[in-house]
Structures are given as structure tokens and as C-alpha cells.
Chains A and B, each alone.
Chain A
Amino acid sequence: MMSSIFDHTLASAREALRSRKISAVELVDAHIDAIERLDGGLNSFITRTPEQARLAAKEADALLAKGEGGSLCGLPIGIKDLFATEGVRTTAASKILGNFVPPYESTVTANLKREGAISLGKLNLDEFAMGSTNLTSAFGGVENPWKLRDSDAKLVPGGSSGGSAAAVAAGLVLGATGTDTGGSIRQPAAFCGITGIKPTYGRCSRFGTIAFASSLDQAGPMARTLQDCAILLESMAGFDPKDSTSVNRPVPHYEAALGRGVKGLKVGIPKEYRIDGLPAEIEAIWQQGINWLKEAGAEVVDISLPHTKYGLPAYYIAALAEASSNLARYDGVRFGERVSGASLDALYEATRAAGFGDEVKRRILLGTYVLSSGYYDAYYLRAQKVRTLLQRDFLKAYETVDVILAPTAPSGAFAWDEKPTDPVQVYLNDVFTVPASMAGVPALSVPAGLDGRGVPLGLQLIGRFFDEETLLAAGSVLERAASFTHRPTIHAGVSA
């Protein structure tokens, strides 16, 4: 097969740009063309910005010709539509922000632009990042570019960063930003056969990222390889005085950690993650991951994270409480859509009734309930105490192990119409990703193989606070061993 421009990773495209084998204009044009060809169906973009991208590509070529330009100069990426982008509509996939054009830029996207990355547009997501299927978007669901072996049914890309995962997997962009509150980077990465990192809470600034649950939200990179994620994270991360939860620590050169290996590394296998009804294929891929790390010289240790079972219910209470508070700002007065009413209260009620979708309303109502007087102690306060126990589980485990290996999700991607109607069943998608979010520790997902139906499965590594480097080292071993070179059915490099 002829090698095509769509065989590039972010890292190889960076080399090709620097050595002037390709131009930024060529690279960006090819990706804009791929979006035009494929995204009518995939629906991974909410807003496309081809004109701005073409202008930026010309500027990038001028810099590259002089041997200048930042670490991402000329590389086409996509931005989850939860990051405020100055002058470019930012919707959070909600009707209530359907025409919102931020007059400011989020710190994470400003960092990426500073390094010369070129945004091709804003990527679809679950409304306000609330969901695990990307079907709650007010701009329509996203289709996973993968197909089951014997079926043409539309699959979900996972969520909430489903547009980011689908666009990266289909080759429409070289990398994308995601955000992860309870698994929103890792689970869609696993469902779409790509790589994603949820950094330590406080590693990437939350300034300008539309808030869902502020004590959990964390931005991170999504790309086709770990090296690409490392390159993106190095530019996204860093201290920001505008975010009071941002942590002031130097940003390491993450790429350098990729080749460290795992010799002598202690890898924990949490017994509580062997949940009842775990599909045999998930169990098998997990065992495969254990073997790969052992073969590379790691020592595998059984560990216990005793409160795992309570992670999900505690997460939902904490996240919904914070969401109900964060979303109080959408009142139709200062920004966003407005529906008039005879009184101020009537205006609020009508605006919020029309502007929010069902899942968002359900979460606001539940969040209001667990914070309301009489229930606060029984629900919210208790959940925060359980959160302490969840974090202690991890801190104790890290006294004996360096990193934890687990599956990313309890299944591969499923069809749009296979989505359970019971909200609790949908929430169970996040059973393996939520505990790390609750503790604030970093985690990543790498594609490890295909299941019997022909869709990707991911493996998750969970690390110590601010030890993204060990995650990258161990993840790299898994990535090499898995040598996941499968491509989805819908891909920019495949001509119809």
C-alpha cells in the first residue's frame, strides 16, 4: 500500500514538517478535506474552522522555513467543545450555549496555540460532558468510526470526549484535547482504539474549561500513540495563577520517559476490579497486559483497593452536587440563550427548561436534592467521607506498588440502540475509571486488542500523584507489546 499523509502520527508529522518533507498547508488541507468527506456521517465536529486553520498553516510554514516555530508548529488538532476559544463558538454541546462566542481563551488551548498547534474546530461531546456515550449532545450523537465485524450498526464512541476520540481514530486530526471527570478521556479512548491520558488533578489548568464537577474535572490529551499524547501533554500542562487548584510544579519532558522500561517496577493488580459478570474477554486482555509487563521485567503484585465498589455511587453524588452548583450560572441573563418570562423566576425556569437536555436536568435535580437541607449530611457529606477512603486506598497501595493495571471499561463499544435505558446501567461504564478520578491520581488508557465482535479494548494504568512519567514508561511497554495497528472501518486514509 502506498503510504499516505494519513499514516502520520503527530510525532512523525512533526519530523516531516521540520525537515520540510511536507508543508503545514498540505497537512492541514488534507485533514480539512478528510473532515469534509467523513464528518457528515461521524458528526465528531460541532464547529469547523477551516479558514482560520488555513491561515495559521501559512504562518506555520513561514516559521518552519526559517527553522522556527513551537513544539507543535503546523500540526492539525481538534479541541473538545468544552474549552473556551476566543472568537470561536463554544457550546459544551448544549442548546443553552448554542451561540456563545467566548471573549477569552482557555489556558490549555492558549498553551497549545503558543506552541503552534492548529485547531481544525470544536469537537462534539456529551452535553456539559455528562455522559458515557456521546449521545446526550444537543448537536446529535457521534458515530464511532469502528464497526462490529458482521454489522453496519452505528456504534457509540464512548463519552464524554466522544467527538475527540472519533476524530482522532478516523484520522481527521492528529490529536485532540479531552476532559476527564469520571472517565471521559479514558473510556472513549478505549472505545475508539486510541490513547488518552487523564493527568493528576491540578496538572492542567481548568481556566476557561466549562465546569462540570470542579473537584474532578481535568484536561488531557487524546492521540493515536503515547508519544503523541506525551508531546501534547507537555504543552497543555503547567501552573496557571488563574486556576486556584493548579499546582505549581515544573512540567517534565514527558517524551523522555517513554523509553524508561519497567524493569523492577512494581505493578499492582487490584482484586476488587474483578467484578461480578466481568466479560471473559476483558478478563483475558487484562491477563495479557499482566503478562506483557512481566515479560518486560516488571514485578506483578496483588493489591486491594477495598472501597472500589463505593466509587461510583460516591462519584455520582459528588459530581451531581458540583454540577448543580456550576450550572446555576446558565440563567439567561448574562450570556447564553434566553426564553422570556413574565417574572425573573419565570424567565429562569423557561430558559433552563428549554436550554438543558434530559440528562443534564436529571443531574441538576439530583445534585440539588443531595445538597438540600435535610439530605446534605446523609448524601453529600457521606460521599465526601467515602471519597477520603477511596483516596486512602490508592495512597496505601502506592506504599507497595508503583503503578496499577486494570481494564479501562467493562466492555467494548456498543451500538447506539444497545444503550441501556436505565441511567444506573449507563453509569456502570465508568466503574473502572471513576476511582482514580475521585482520588485525583493520574491514569491513562492504551488500546490492547480487539474483542470477538471486532472492536477495540483498552488497558488502564493508574499512577502516583504527578507521576505521569511512570505511566508513560509502563504504557509504552504495553503499547509496543500490543502493537495495535488495526484501523477503524471509517478512516481518512481509506478511499471509499
Chain B
Amino acid sequence: MSLDAKTVAKMARLARVGLSEEQVHTYQKEMQGIIGWVDQLNEVDVTDVPPMIGTGLAQPRLRDDQVTDGNCRDKVLSNAPDREGPFYTVPKVVE
């Protein structure tokens, strides 16, 4: 499958990674190479093979719906790059 510059720019938008035009072209070449290489997986017969979504070693478990590590608001906020009181700040989203 070919991966063109337009697709790379779209992925960058979806992933919210700002890229310059020049970077889009560099990544396009490298990503095309990698995708070309992984295309060999098409040789494998995966008929009736279930996808592996984990190693299946851990028992799924439930826990009580309780706060066990609470009252640490200031710790949670301690790494905020910008805040006002107990709030994170972002640019205006709703007009």
C-alpha cells in the first residue's frame, strides 16, 4: 500500500503533532519504507486465528467502587503547566 504525503499530513493532524512541510516529506519516505516492510504479514494465513489482545495470564478482577487514594488534589495538580487555583487552564474553547 502506498502512503502519500497527504496521508502523512492527515495522520499528523489526527495525532495532533505539528509537522512542517519538509518534515511531512521526510516522514513520508521513512513511513513508506516501514509500511512496505510490514506488508510481508500478508503472506501469513490468519484464517480462523483469533487476535491476541493480551497474554491472558491475569485474571480479570473487580474491585469495590471506592476511593482508596483520595484527597490529593494538590498533588494531582502539581505538574500542571498552567493553572488557576484548582483548575487547569486551556485556550478559550467555547465562544
Contacts and interface: CB of A to CB of B under 8 A. Distances in A.
B80 A335 contact: yes
A136 to B, nearest CB: 14
B15 A368 contact: yes
B80 A391 contact: no
B33 A349 contact: no
A382 B46 contact: yes
Contacts, number: 168
Contact of A440 (B27, B55, B82): B55
Contact of A364 (B17, B52, B78): B17
B67 interface: no
A485 to B, nearest CB: 37
Interface in B56-95: 57-61, 63, 72, 75-76, 78-82, 88, 90-91, 93
B2 interface: no
Given A334-B80, A338-B81, A352-B16, A362 B46 contact: no
A415 interface: no
A69 to B, nearest CB: 28
B67 to A, nearest CB: 14
Main secondary structure of the interface of B (DSSP, over half): loop
B15 A379 contact: no
Contact of B51 (A333, A349, A385): A385
Contacts of A424: 33-34, 37
Contacts of A338: 81-82
Interface stretch (A124-132, A144-152, A244-252): A244-252
Contacts of A245: 54-55, 57-58
B38 A379 contact: yes
A384 B44 contact: no
7 smallest CB-CB distances across A and B, nearest first, come from A440-B55, A384-B51, A353-B18, A335-B79, A349-B18, A338-B81, A103-B75
Interface of A: 100-104, 200-202, 215, 241, 244-248, 307, 309-310, 313-314, 316-317, 324, 328, 331-338, 340-350, 352-353, 356, 361-362, 364-366, 368-369, 372, 375, 378-379, 381-389, 391, 422-424, 439-440, 465-466
Given A247-B59, A336-B79, A391-B52, 16 more contacts: A101-B78, A101-B79, A244-B58, A245-B57, A247-B57, A317-B38, A331-B16, A333-B81, A336-B81, A352-B15, A353-B18, A372-B14, A386-B46, A388-B50, A389-B46, A423-B33
